[in-house]
Amino acid sequence: MVNGHYHNNSKVTYSIYENWLSTYITDSSIQAMKVIYCNSIYLSYKVYTMKNFIFIFLLVSSSFALQDDLSLQTYFKNYLNYFNTLRRSSETLHDDYFKIVTPQITSKVLISAPHTLPHLRKGKYKWADSGSGALALTLQRATKTHLIYTTRSGVDPNYYDKSLYKVALKKYLQEHPEIELVIDIHGASPKRSFDVDLGTMHHKSIRNVELYKLIKSHFDQSKLKVSENFFSASKAETITKFAFNLGLNSIQMENNVANLLYPEKKLSLNRLLRAYTNCILHLEEAL
């Protein structure tokens, strides 16, 4: 990190920004990006006058936006690898097949990802919703929500109420009355024509219409193709229905797996990650 090309006089300025950035970004995988970023800040500093203040402001803000997007993508890639590793050791059924993450700050949102790995439904293993775990963990990291997700194979919690995932979820929701919204994250076939499908039991599981409009608008604005209730979450014993019956707002969000996994869909993935993070941060204020 400290071997970046810069003039000796700039060491002090450089290290201030370096320390400041170190608190903002911690993953070693984005160290290279930090070098570029620090150097661009230093260059701005070097040409600093009142006249070009606006230029510097724009440069810094655009660097932040770029850095945020790159961080989201980096986290997402790392989490994809994490779930690929888990998949190799997930052939047998387990009781302790999920994890819960509690944020350091107060959050009114809980993200659920029950299909990160193959799961048992009607006596057969169903394929994982590939990429759904990486999406859920990336969003938790970026927005500091509550999170429950599967780490091994088990009974499908989005099909049976009799699952330890739901027992733990109910207990957790009772212990955290600040949670008002459950977002259940899934992955849909690449054959689907939508980017995101919003499943609300046909506009029943989100009681506040404005809240629903807020969610939908973030994805519409991101040029993503949004569908409504293609998967309504109302047929089986879904997580969405379960949370709704506990008195919460809930939504099942199906994400086209092509956007999550195909390299040529990088732009759509970026739009999706940004839409989700902005949407969740906005929801925290609106709830």
* Contact residues: Zn ion, CB under 5 A: 115, 129, 186
Residue among 81, 86, 88 at smallest CA distance from 98: 86
DSSP helix/strand/coil, 140: helix
**Least distance between Zn ion and beta carbon 248 (Å):** 19
Distance separating alpha carbons of residues 152 and 118, to the nearest angstrom: 8
- Is 138 or 158 the residue whose CB approaches Zn ion more closely? 158
- Residue closer to Zn ion by CB (options 107, 116) is 116
- The least distance separating Zn ion from the CB of residue 158, rounded to whole angstroms, comes to 6
Give whichever of 14 and 97 is closer to Zn ion, judged by the CB atom: 97
Of 57 and 127, nearer to Zn ion (C-beta) is 127
Q: How far is the CB of 168 from Zn ion (least distance, A)?
A: 18
Contact 113, 99 (CB under 8 A): no
Determine the angle formed by the axes of helices 11-24 and 31-46, rounding to 10 degrees: 140
Give the span between the Cα atoms of 69 and 3, in whole angstroms.
25
Of 175, 152, 153, 147, residue with least CA distance to 239? 147
Between residues 142 and 253, which has the closer beta carbon with respect to Zn ion? Answer: 253
Residue 241 Cα to chain centre, angstroms: 21
Between 129 and 284, CB nearer to Zn ion: 129
Q: Do residues 188 and 254 touch, judged by C-beta distance below 8 A?
A: yes
Taking the C-alpha atoms of residue 149 and residue 135, their distance in angstroms, rounded to an integer, is 11
